[in-house]
Amino acid sequence: MAGEDRVLAGGAKYIDFQTEPSRYRHWKLAVDGEIATLTMDVDETGGLFEGYQLKLNSYDLGVDIELADAVQRLRFEHPGVKVVVLRSGKNRVFCAGANIRMLAGATHAHKVNFCKFTNETRNGLEDSSANSGQRFITVVNGTAAGGGYELALATDHIILADDGAAAVALPELPLLAVLPGTGGLTRVVDKRKVRRDRADYFCTIEEGIKGKRAVQWRLVDEIVPNSKLEAKVSERARQFAAASKRDGNGSGISLTPLKRNFDDNGVRYGLVSVDIDRAQRIATISIKAPDAPPPNDIDGVITQGASFWPLQVARELDDAILHLRINELETAMLVFKSHGDRANVLACDALLEANKSHWLVNEIRQYWKRVLKRIDVTSRTLVTLIEPGSCFAGTLAELVFAADRSYMLIGQKQGDNRAPPAIELTPMNFGPYPMSHGLTRLQSRFQADVSDLDRAREKIGEALDAEQAEQLGLVTFALDDIDWDDEIRVFLEERTSFSPDGLTGMEANLRFVGPETMESKIFSRLTAWQNWIFQRPNAVGENGALLRYGTGQKPQFDMTRV
Amino acid sequence: MAGEDRVLAGGAKYIDFQTEPSRYRHWKLAVDGEIATLTMDVDETGGLFEGYQLKLNSYDLGVDIELADAVQRLRFEHPGVKVVVLRSGKNRVFCAGANIRMLAGATHAHKVNFCKFTNETRNGLEDSSANSGQRFITVVNGTAAGGGYELALATDHIILADDGAAAVALPELPLLAVLPGTGGLTRVVDKRKVRRDRADYFCTIEEGIKGKRAVQWRLVDEIVPNSKLEAKVSERARQFAAASKRDGNGSGISLTPLKRNFDDNGVRYGLVSVDIDRAQRIATISIKAPDAPPPNDIDGVITQGASFWPLQVARELDDAILHLRINELETAMLVFKSHGDRANVLACDALLEANKSHWLVNEIRQYWKRVLKRIDVTSRTLVTLIEPGSCFAGTLAELVFAADRSYMLIGQKQGDNRAPPAIELTPMNFGPYPMSHGLTRLQSRFQADVSDLDRAREKIGEALDAEQAEQLGLVTFALDDIDWDDEIRVFLEERTSFSPDGLTGMEANLRFVGPETMESKIFSRLTAWQNWIFQRPNAVGENGALLRYGTGQKPQFDMTRV
């Protein structure tokens, strides 16, 4: 499923995004007061698939899943950590980037999904720095090439050993005929603001840049002789810690293992369930409201920890999306549903709003933001159905606004005595969950007339029925019971008959109305071009650079410039 | 060269971007005082290539070349025209969009180049409206589908006949498995601000939307019954003319035919020459400075007309770039050179700055802006060499800043008694030539420290030698005579050995530092995704939608969602 001729290592049936430090094969996480050290020490034999070795601290998706887990745990389990030092456990090598053998043998879909996840993880580092006060320092003790340097680029401060050998490099183009596509091109010019012609030079040389020029060109922040490296790292870590606003005194909460049940037709979590109709190629994701109101105060939230409803749902939803993305490639569409007591959902939102300055609540809000962003860049048609018994309120209503289309039932269904469905807005729909391009989903929705946003805001706290919601522009279509089944059925059938590629391109364009940010540029300008290159014979053909790399044979290029 | 199994119609050897109204086969341009009418009446048998017919006002590149010419002439030859009414010469059909047979049989490179040029032409309509006060009104008298509606989207005001049949549609996705990629997706949500979920619906239906819903959803500006259509068009044209600030009283200047000489090794224009080294795959574009100072005043400029140096160079350079893009596909690199008296170039810039409120000078400045933008999105490596005898000053210096890299000689060359080269800045480098993303090239260049821009501005009017230029950050590398030949040779050889696709992707990312605008989003998010789709078997494969369209056979899709 995930590789052309590849099977997952160890007899695994699917790629699992859940892990924990005790199971890491490639990273070591050590916490010492305010400073954590995250050491990359990739196990060559620990590849996710069979058929390649992860030499020179090169990585595959499995390595990145551990990194994402570590970053997540640093936020929730280590509120006292203000600085994370990212470094290599290998001698004279920082990281050689994405493993080339892995890439050469991966399906197009796996390449694209791999890059998407690594991009999300690197954006996550920056999010942690910006919104949790956890600053990242990278210590480049040897070669940081390609994805290795791209990882460093996602951190706040890059220290390069000044030993005549350590260097940063983006050699993808000359070596592999692909782009530094995990944010590299974008971050070099947009984040580190390397002059574009220097960036051009840098991205076309294999050997990279070291020493003073690396600093002068803004590729790294400082160079330090090996003899003084450890002292400098400690000094910088202390400085960054002193400047951090992170205020997570006390202990964190434990991100306990998710309870999941995989079967042939989906996954069942505690609060989220995924039902896959393979014939229709539709996955229905249902979210259950809390059975009871949330705790009264923050101490109660801390006591609930990972089972606090908003956090548990976010974790389950995140895992479900990742699972579907990479393991269920023929699923055309995600249909979001919800059920349960809307009042309890609203009470959770109220708690999240009232305690937003508390570190844990902040983390939960930031996490929801990231999960929703992950949904935004998921290449599946997103549909939300608002039916009797549903509870799309506040945070959950973002799934209505994230959807490519939403349908809401007018009134009741015949033979169903549940009340007509309602949606309800909360302050969570008006700020804390911006999309990657910086606008909230409602801002994106109401570009034509900003007063529509004000009209919606005035309805905070009111249960809105289908006709009100449609009139306010909050749902795509309101349908009564007579039309509901037929219209939905026809829509689903038609949608799933379209070209998956065409839909991916269309949705990626229509979802991001208005401005672009560095983050959104990575998913649009950079990723779209990389995906194009990942289809071109010059990169992926039999005589292309990816397959020829390391064979001693030069790639043969069609020299047509397109 | 330009089609897989296609030959150019009429025995043509290359695609020619030069035309004039008397030669149009597909458009009629009629001027009546302040109002011009541009009527699309495509000659079915007038395709650019053999092998397809342009039915239902569908278009190919040849049709668009005429449109671009007409729009250009309206700006220069018709300063009195304040409103352009765009309409169809066919009964009950506005325009069926890009011809599908043409697309199905076109090479990947031709598809991409075709879309790029049509995008530039549509952006040009908007540029004319924004910067020349020529407003465009589209009269949709029947079906405006795909590229037909995308053309309407580029205009200021869309009037749809309310006759129960006339409709606007973007049926690319359901019919052809490709995107409405000539700005359609972007303009629907970013310009017309159609709500994204409605846009999703609109872009997945074949039949389009007509009548009141088209207005309510913001797809058109108004609907008018056929009986009142002509009166309404006249009324709107008069209103728009009255509101226009266009101030081009008197007669325009004639865009006389370019003098060109094609041979096997290039093209020679009056002031621009193109020398193609096919073995090296390099085209050198040399621009000659004026032999004499420009006229003293605007009357002199008008008298010179199309032979006024800045206008003549812009037209020749524009034609050269277009020619190389589409007819010389294996050319990897454009090397810009210049020669002649810098003082005369500077005097032209001074004239363009002193008279910028005059309509003709405004048009020349706007045109240079568009030519430079065309260079920015040209998928060839751009290099500028600044050697003795060169005259990169002001407007021409933009070619230094547009380049992916520039090299400047320190001092003189052995055996060459010409003075060391100098570059010189003018106010033209600080405003009038923004890139598509809204920044000037120097702003883009100096993102790291805005004071670099100020330092450069302070040097306006000073001749800067190589070391000064390098120190100011204006050139990539300054080299002395000892290194020059070897370094340039090695660079050119290495660069042309890289994968053309990788370079295209890299350059498209590094050139556009910072923000994106609607226009730049069209060339990044939208175009890059479309190019990806143009490589996918679901669209272009043997069983894909483009080849199967009209055969009665349904396309067969690989349902993997990437």
Is residue A53 within 8 Å of residue A45, measured between CB atoms? yes
For range B19-35, the mean pLDDT: 97
| Whether B525 and A512 lie within 8 Å, measured CB to CB | yes
CA–CA gap between residue B464 and residue B458 (Å, rounded): 12
Q: Which helix (H) or strand (E) holds A275?
A: strand A272-277
A278 touches chain B (CB under 8 A): no
Burial B305-334 (b: 16+ CB within 10 A, else e): beebbbbbbbbbbbbbbbbbbbbbbebbbb
Q: Which helix (H) or strand (E) holds B28?
A: strand B27-32
Distance from CA of B38 to the nearest CA of A (A): 30
* Closest partner CB to A510 (pick from B189, B193, B444): B189
- Show residues of chain B in contact with A173, CB under 8 Å: 498-499, 502-503, 506
| Whether B560 and A500 lie within 8 Å, measured CB to CB | yes
Residue of chain B with shortest Cα separation from A115? B562
Instruction: Say which residues have a Cβ less than 8 Å from residue A361's Cβ, sequence separation at least 6.
Output: A298, A301, A351, A352, A355
**A108-132 vs A359-376: helix axis angle to the nearest 10?**
150
Q: Residue A5: which pLDDT band, with cuts at 50, 70 and 90?
A: low
Instruction: Say which residues have a Cβ less than 8 Å from residue A216's Cβ, sequence separation at least 6.
Output: none
pLDDT value of residue A2: 39
- Show residues of chain A in contact with B478, CB under 8 Å: none
Residue A3 has pLDDT above 70, yes or no: no
The greatest distance separating any two alpha carbons of chain A, rounded to the nearest whole angstrom, comes to 78
Q: A239 phi and psi, to 5 degrees?
A: -60, -50
**A61-76 vs A108-132: helix axis angle to the nearest 10?**
20
List the single best residue of B114, B200, B538 to mutate versus A (max A Cβ within 10 A).
B200
| Whether B476 and A198 lie within 8 Å, measured CB to CB | yes
Q: Where are the beta strands (DSSP E) in B281-404?
A: 282-288, 333-339, 381-386
* Closest partner CB to B510 (pick from A196, A405, A511): A196
- Show residues of chain B in contact with A501, CB under 8 Å: 177, 532-533, 536, 538-539, 562
Alpha helices in A266-390 (DSSP H): 298-304, 309-327, 342-354, 359-376
* Closest partner CB to A538 (pick from B186, B403, B500): B500
| Whether B186 and A499 lie within 8 Å, measured CB to CB | no
The pLDDT tens digits for B366-403 are 999 999 999 999 999 999 999 999 999 999 999 999 99
A90 touches chain B (CB under 8 A): no
CA–CA gap between residue A382 and residue A252 (Å, rounded): 34
| Whether A201 and B476 lie within 8 Å, measured CB to CB | yes
B498 touches chain A (CB under 8 A): yes
Of the candidates B304, B394, B309, the one whose C-alpha atom is nearest the C-alpha of residue B349 is: B394
Q: Residue B1: which pLDDT band, with cuts at 50, 70 and 90?
A: very low
For the sheet containing B93-95, what is the strand order? B93-95, B143-145, B167-169
pLDDT value of residue B5: 64
Q: Which helix (H) or strand (E) holds A478?
A: strand A477-480
CA–CA gap between residue A215 and residue A222 (Å, rounded): 6
Mean pLDDT of chain B: 97
Residue B452 has pLDDT above 60, yes or no: yes
Q: Residue B540: which pLDDT band, with cuts at 50, 70 and 90?
A: very high
The tokens describing A388, both together, are: 């009797």
B352 touches chain A (CB under 8 A): no
Q: How far is CA A120 from CA A26, A27, A98, A522, B305, in A?
A: 19, 18, 15, 10, 55
Distance from CA of B248 to the nearest CA of A (A): 34
Is residue A453 within 8 Å of residue A439, measured between CB atoms? no
Of the candidates A219, A122, A203, A130, the one whose C-alpha atom is nearest the C-alpha of residue A166 is: A219
pLDDT value of residue B3: 46
Is residue A510 within 8 Å of residue A502, measured between CB atoms? no
pLDDT value of residue A6: 86
B378 touches chain A (CB under 8 A): no
Residue B59 has pLDDT above 90, yes or no: yes
pLDDT value of residue A340: 98
| Whether B108 and A562 lie within 8 Å, measured CB to CB | yes
Lowest mean pLDDT among A234-238, B3-7, B268-272: B3-7
pLDDT value of residue A4: 53
CA–CA gap between residue B317 and residue B195 (Å, rounded): 40
Q: Residue B249: which pLDDT band, with cuts at 50, 70 and 90?
A: confident
- Show residues of chain B in contact with A500, CB under 8 Å: 538, 557-562
* Closest partner CB to B112 (pick from A109, A555, A562): A562
B526 touches chain A (CB under 8 A): yes
For range B51-74, the mean pLDDT: 98
Mean pLDDT of chain A: 96
- Show residues of chain B in contact with A174, CB under 8 Å: 494, 498
Is residue A417 within 8 Å of residue A392, measured between CB atoms? no
The pLDDT tens digits for B184-200 are 999 999 999 999 999 99
Question: Is the overall model pTM greater than 0.90, yes or no?
Answer: yes
Is residue A178 within 8 Å of residue B502, measured between CB atoms? yes
Residue B38 has pLDDT above 90, yes or no: yes
- Paired residues of A37 in beta bridges: A30, A85
Domains and CATH numbers, chain A: 25-243 (3.90.226.10), 261-507 (3.90.226.10)
Distance from CA of A331 to the nearest CA of B (A): 7
| Whether A200 and B405 lie within 8 Å, measured CB to CB | yes
For range A83-92, the mean pLDDT: 97
Is residue B154 within 8 Å of residue B122, measured between CB atoms? yes
- Distance, C-alpha B140 to centroid of its chain: 25
Q: Residue A12: which pLDDT band, with cuts at 50, 70 and 90?
A: very high
For range B285-311, the mean pLDDT: 97
The pLDDT tens digits for B328-368 are 999 999 999 999 999 999 999 999 999 999 999 999 999 99
Give A 312-351 residues with CB within 8 A of chain B: 329-332
* Closest partner CB to B330 (pick from A198, A444, A561): A561
Q: What is the DSSP letter of B549?
A: T
pLDDT value of residue B6: 86
SS3 A292: coil
CA–CA gap between residue B379 and residue B329 (Å, rounded): 10
The pLDDT tens digits for A202-256 are 999 999 999 999 999 999 999 999 999 999 999 999 999 999 989 877 789 999 9
* Closest partner CB to B536 (pick from A447, A535, A561): A535
CA–CA gap between residue B540 and residue B300 (Å, rounded): 54
CA–CA gap between residue A240 and residue A236 (Å, rounded): 6
B302 touches chain A (CB under 8 A): no
For range A389-404, the mean pLDDT: 98
Q: Give percent of chain A above pLDDT 90.
A: 98
Q: What is the DSSP letter of B44?
A: T
Q: Are strands A266-268 and A261-263 parallel, antiparallel or unpaired?
A: antiparallel
SS3 B336: strand
Q: Are strands B27-32 and A477-480 parallel, antiparallel or unpaired?
A: unpaired
Q: How far is CA B150 from CA A29, A511, B420, B429, B490, in A?
A: 53, 19, 50, 33, 45
Counting DSSP H helices and E strands in chain B, the numbers are: 23, 19
The vertex-B518 CA angle with B516 and B522, nearest 5°, equals 90
pLDDT value of residue A250: 74
* Closest partner CB to B561 (pick from A445, A504, A539): A504
Residue A1 has pLDDT above 50, yes or no: no
Distance from CA of A210 to the nearest CA of B (A): 18
B500 touches chain A (CB under 8 A): yes
The tokens describing A504, both together, are: 């991916």
Tell whether the torsion through CA atoms of B509, B515, B520 and B522 is positive or negative.
Answer: positive
| Whether A558 and B204 lie within 8 Å, measured CB to CB | no
B436 touches chain A (CB under 8 A): no
Burial label, B245 (beta-carbon count in 10 A; 0-12, 13-18, 19+): exposed
Q: Give percent of chain A above pLDDT 70.
A: 99
The tokens describing A79, both together, are: 């509120």
Residue B272 has pLDDT above 80, yes or no: yes
* Closest partner CB to A330 (pick from B403, B515, B561): B561
* Closest partner CB to B196 (pick from A379, A513, A528): A513
Of the candidates B209, B562, B559, B210, the one whose C-alpha atom is nearest the C-alpha of residue A495 is: B559
The pLDDT tens digits for A333-362 are 999 999 999 999 999 999 999 999 999 999
For range A535-539, the mean pLDDT: 96
Residue of chain A with shortest Cα separation from B516? A516
Q: What is the DSSP letter of A525?
A: I
- Show residues of chain A in contact with B172, CB under 8 Å: 502
The tokens describing B538, both together, are: 């679901």
A204 touches chain B (CB under 8 A): yes
Residue B515 has pLDDT above 70, yes or no: yes
What one-character-per-residue DSSP string does A47-86 give? -SBSS---GGGEE-HHHHHHHHHHHHHHHHT-TT--EEEE
- Distance, C-alpha A216 to centroid of its chain: 32
| Whether B194 and A529 lie within 8 Å, measured CB to CB | no
Q: Which helix (H) or strand (E) holds A338?
A: strand A333-339
Residue B4 has pLDDT above 60, yes or no: no
CA–CA gap between residue B152 and residue B170 (Å, rounded): 12
The pLDDT tens digits for B129-186 are 999 999 999 999 999 999 999 999 999 999 999 999 999 999 999 999 999 989 999 9
